Amino acid sequence: MTQSNAQRAAGAFAQFLLMTALLTLAGCATTQVITANSKPPIQLQTMIFDAERVDIMILPFAPNLETLPSSGSDDIPVSAEVRRAESRYLAFHLKDTLERTGNWGIVRVVPSAARHHPLLVSGKILASDGERLAVSVTATDASGRVWLTQTYEDNASKYAYQSIKEDPFQDLYNNIANDLVAQYQTRSANEINAVKQIAQLSFAADLAPDAFARYLTKNRDGTTSVTQVPADSDTILQRVAKIRVQDDLLVDTLDDYYFKFL
């Protein structure tokens, strides 16, 4: 493999460049057996009822363009376009990892944060050169409580780009998924229900603040809690619920198309 091809493989963590490198390597005949090196993420063995499932929204990771190596640096240069594509790829691959566990409700990638998101995951790329990936990740629920804020790092094996069985940094995604479900397990059913109620009422308050703002209160520590719950027969709440369904459908459509622009 020429030096330029090696640089492309190292710098092309974004999906479209990664697949180019994999297809190039696939043309080389080899008898070496290459296996995946990651442990599967944790899947909860107990049944999770729909009422106890938490929806997760994931923001594209901050590309952190100011840390990109300059053209005069000894490090392999990575273009801003590649890093931006990578920021979206990281979010979508984390989404796929979380969905495969079956531990959660709906998992989507969204373009911006909103206070009605039950659990919002955001991240920032700290380092990425094809051999090493380091990111910081924060997860915050609708009440404003932080579930985790942590730095994750993984190194790709020397055979990682010779196999298409899994992402070279799959361990990193699995670790994030495991930490999130560990945090979920520390919370009671009442706490989970409160988070979902806050998310629902926050959405309603954004649409009709005069009718729903009184149901939520801001605590001294910056978190939000429910002061009272409107009746299920509330006609305005029923209208808001219908709007929420349409909003979810729109986000689902955007989520599907968003991935195609990687």
What's the residue count for the chain?
A: 262
Q: How far apart are CA 151 and CA 137, in angstroms?
A: 6
Q: Looking at residue 61, what is its pLDDT?
A: 97
| Domain 3-185 class in CATH | alpha beta
User: What was the pLDDT predicted at 239?
Assistant: 87
User: Coil, strand, or helix at residue 203?
Assistant: helix
Residue 209: partners with Cβ closer than 8 Å, 6 or more residues away: none
Domain boundaries, the chain: 3-185, 189-259
Q: Which two tokens stand for residue 198?
A: 């806050």
Reported as a single tens digit per residue, the pLDDT across 4-28 is: 444 444 444 444 444 444 444 444 4
Max avg pLDDT among 3-12, 26-35, 46-55: 46-55
pTM exceeding 0.85: no
Spatial contact of 162 and 27, defined as CB atoms under 8 Å apart: no
β-sheet bridge partners, residue 216: 226
**H/E segment holding residue 81:** helix 80-101
Encode pLDDT of 65-98 as tens digits: 887 766 555 555 678 888 888 999 999 999 999 9
Least confident range from 123-127, 135-139, 165-169, 189-193: namely 165-169
- DSSP labels, 117-164: -SEEEEEEEEEESSSEEEEEEEEEETTS-EEEEEEEEEE--TTGGG--
